[in-house]
Structures are given as structure tokens and as C-alpha cells.
Amino acid sequence: MCGFIGVIGVETAARDVYEGLLAIQHRGQDAAGIITYDGRFHVKKGEGLVRDIFSAANFERLKGSLGIGHVRYPTVGSGGGEDAQPFVVNYPYGVAMAHNGNVANYEDLRADLELRSLRHLYSGCDVEVVLNVFANALASAAAGEFRLDGYYEAVRSVYRDVRGAYSVVGFLAGRGLFAFRDPFGIKPIAMGRRREGGRDAYAVASESVVLTALGYEVLPWGRPGEAVFVDLDGKVHRRQVAEPDHHPCVFEFVYFARPDSTIDGISVYRARIRMGERLAETFRGTGLAADVVVPVPDSARTAALAMAQALGVPYREGLVKNRYVGRTFLMPSDAERRRSVRHKLNAIEEEFAGKDVLLVDDSIVRGNTSRQIVRLARSAGARRVFFASTAPPIVHPCVYGIDMSTRREFVARGRSLDEIAREIGAEAVVYQELPDLVGAVTEGQSHVDRMCTACFSGLYPTGDITPEMLLRIEEERVVQGR
């Protein structure tokens, strides 16, 4: 999972891009970069957090009213600083690009680009493949002067050749900002407009929170498979270049997105409330009863509150998080992750001592976090510990860019509910039912009726994920020790 922002029409694009990256830092803490243009390209990339990479001196240099930026979350293949996005190619016109997603046929495309197009890739980052497929098609379609038709043709080629899931932002040097989202629309994207010095400035970002934080009015994004181009006069051009088959990622709503974002017009916050209400029904159906509901901070808070209200049980923030310890899931090795969970959370004994506690988290992946938290609850004196997950059991890898680890590591794979409870040390574990999860997101939304649920159901909406691809992804993860 990654985050991006692109801006056109403001005096110093880098300022907006930088602030936008801060607003989506949660989407990736591994590396970040900004590219701007003012007659020439200006680039700054690095590893680590946005606030540590960019300095005042960089902003002196990152000139121009056209710019894009990216925060990276490590997925398959993403390595050191040279893999940090955005990327740029000089031909044709000068194209800069960043994306959020994962290219499933990366190896095939890379070989094809090197053998047939004689393009040599600079990094192991999959957006470079998208960029080069795009640039190839743009060069053959445009034949000299830039035309919008050439741009649409280039996006069509990307849709035809690039498998997987991707939302893309980029710019053509001195011509305009572009953005497109693959026909399955698995990855989120949002666009906004702000009145700036008598003209309209536009921004495109992974999450709407970037736009609202920067004072942009959020505009409806078209259907997936559409290509958008904003020219230097602030005119927006758009064309549907592939038939949409919309399946937005349900896990964005569970965990990834900020609650103050909307995705495809659906409030993440409202969806999480409905998840809590539906999970309360499932919990009630088990016949179990709790004295207190305690959320695992932070992403489970909204759902846990709704769940407690629906159950008529007190909601208590009994776990305190040290906000200066980074996200444990993003730690590269399992040992580091385990150590970090212990440093990250602490329990308030009054909320646990002698009570039957219902802990609520957004999801259980390997079970490490839940095991440690159950242990914490017990050492704080809990009598019985129940563990609820607002997501169903995760049993299949994500090939679209969310790091879900390998099948072997999923605690729920091949285990019954009782066995999972035993694994994490709880008296019982309660999962959201998949139809309830999808229903919680799509309730009252006529424009979204299907979602990508691959990590729960094994149904990959792009229809082209072969067992060999899944195996290859697993092998790469094992080699990387992740």
C-alpha cells in the first residue's frame, strides 16, 4: 500500500505535495519522494518518514507549479532508496509518474520492455514498468506534437498490458497533470479543486483526506478505467478508455484508509461504525457476554465504540499506545515486530482487573499482535478475554499491493475458531462475516455493489491471478524474510 499526490496550478506545488504526503504518511513509512517541474525536473527522494527526508533547502530547489509525490509501503520487490517513487523518463516529452498498487505481471513486462523495446529499467519498482509501457505507447501514438488522443491511447495500452491493481498520477513536462485508475478500481483515488489566484488549482491523491487537509474541494471521481488530464490552463479533460468492472478494496475500509477519508464517495468512518454494529450482532449470536469493550488502538476505535453501544456494554480505552513507536506491521522482520508490539502498547489495570473483556481489533493476520495483547490483558488482571475482529479471517495473500504475508503465516489458515482462539490465548475469537463486512461498506450505496475481498475469499477480481503467480509472490516474500 502506498500513497501519492499530484498538484497543478499552485505557485509552489512542492509545498502542497509535502503537506499532502504528511496527511497520507500512514500509507507508507518506508520511503518518500517529490518531483516538480518548472522548465526542468527537480527531484528529492529518500528513505524514512516524510518529515525526515525533506528540509527547507529542498524546497528552495523543488520549484514549479506542477509536482507529484509518493510515500512507499514495502511490498514485493521494493528495496532501497533507488526504488523510491516517483520516477521520470525523458522520452517522449518528459514523463513523471507515481502509483499505488501492485503489478502482477511485472517480470513478464520487464523482460518484454528490455528485449523488445530496448528500454532498460533503473530500479526494481513496478511503477517503472507502468511508466515505460505508458511512455512507449505515448511515443508511438503522438508522432511529434502532443495530442490528448495520444495520452488516451497510452493509458489504453497500460490497461491492456499491465495486470494487477494500480491508481496512477503523473505529469507531462510543461503540458499537464494526468491520473488514471485501472478498470477494476481496486485502489482508491480522489480529485480536488481549489481557487488559487483567480484560477483553479487541481490535486489528485490516494485519499480524500489529503485534499480536505489542503483546502481542496473534493470532486467526484469518474468510473474506473477513465483517464484524466488537467492542462496548464486548468482545463480538465477526461475520457473513459476501458469498460469499468469496479471492485474497490474492502480492506481499505477495514484498516488502511484514514477514517476521515471517503473512498468512492463512501465515508470510511461511517463504514467502520456499521462494521461495529454488525459485529455486535455476531457477538450476541455466540451467547457470550462481556463486562467491557476495549479497542486495540488506533484503527479499531470507531468500530469498537459502535459495537459497545450496540451491545450496551461500557467502552473503555484500556490500552494506551506510545505514538512514537512506528507501525509494528511495517517492521521488516517478525522478531522486530514482536518486540515492537510490547513497546507500543500498555494496559490500564482498572479496566481489566476481574473483568470479562472484549478486545476489538480491525483484523488478525499472523496473530502476533492479538497474542501479545491478550497476554497484556491477562497480566492486567482480566478474568476472561474475548477477541473480536472487524474483518473476517484473512487466509489468502493480497496480490494487489497490501502486504498480507504468506499463506503459511496466516493464523486463521486451516484452523477452526477454537483453534485460533487457542493460538492467540483467548477464551473465544469472533470474526465479522464477509457479507456483513461488504454490507457495512456498501449499505445505501447504489454505485458500489461488488468489492475486492480476495484476502478473505480467494476471489481475485482481475481474474488473471494464477497459482504460479501466488507461489512466486510467496517465494519472494520468504527470500526477503517478510
Which residue lies nearer to ligand AMP by CB, 136 or 390? 390
DSSP string covering 405-469 = --GGG-TTTT--HHHHHHHHT-SEEEE--HHHHHHHHHTT-TT----B-HHHH---TTS---HHH
How many whole angstroms separate alpha carbon 482 and alpha carbon 480? 6
Which residue lies nearer to ligand AMP by CB, 235 or 343? 343
Grouping H, G, I as helix, E, B as strand and the rest as coil, residue 331 is coil
How many whole angstroms separate alpha carbon 242 and alpha carbon 262? 24
Which residue lies nearer to ligand AMP by CB, 34 or 402? 402
Q: All 3 cell numbers of residue 315?
A: 467502552
Which active-site residues does the annotation give? 2
Nearest to 467 by CA among 476, 458, 456: 458
CB of 475 to ligand AMP, least distance (A): 19
How many whole angstroms separate alpha carbon 400 and alpha carbon 387? 28
CB of 122 to ligand AMP, least distance (A): 27
* Beta-ladder partners of 88: 96
Grouping H, G, I as helix, E, B as strand and the rest as coil, residue 274 is helix
Count of Cβ atoms closer than 10 Å to residue 283 Cβ: 24
Which residue lies nearer to ligand AMP by CB, 142 or 420? 420
How many whole angstroms separate alpha carbon 301 and alpha carbon 307? 10
CB of 364 to ligand AMP, least distance (A): 5
CB of 190 to ligand AMP, least distance (A): 21
Which residue lies nearer to ligand AMP by CB, 290 or 345? 345
Quick check: 183 and 225 in contact, CB under 8 A? yes
Residues lying near ligand AMP in the complex (CB under 6 A): 255, 296, 299, 329, 361-370, 402-404
φ and ψ at residue 35, rounded to 5 degrees: -125, 130
Which residue lies nearer to ligand AMP by CB, 123 or 299? 299
Count of Cβ atoms closer than 10 Å to residue 217 Cβ: 12
How many whole angstroms separate alpha carbon 113 and alpha carbon 9? 34
Find the residue with minimal CB distance to ligand AMP: 329
Strands (E) located in 144-224: 164-172, 176-181, 190-196, 199-205, 217-219
Nearest to 179 by CA among 143, 126, 225: 225
Which residue lies nearer to ligand AMP by CB, 161 or 403? 403
Quick check: 436 and 391 in contact, CB under 8 A? no
CB of 366 to ligand AMP, least distance (A): 3
State the first-to-last Cα distance of the chain, in angstroms, to the nearest integer. Answer: 15
Nearest to 118 by CA among 136, 105, 100: 136
Cis peptide bond upstream of 298, omega within 30: yes
How many whole angstroms separate alpha carbon 27 and alpha carbon 268? 15
Q: For residue 153, how many C-alpha atoms fall within 13 Å in the half-sphere facing its CB?
A: 14
Which residue lies nearer to ligand AMP by CB, 177 or 279? 279
Which residue lies nearer to ligand AMP by CB, 200 or 423? 423
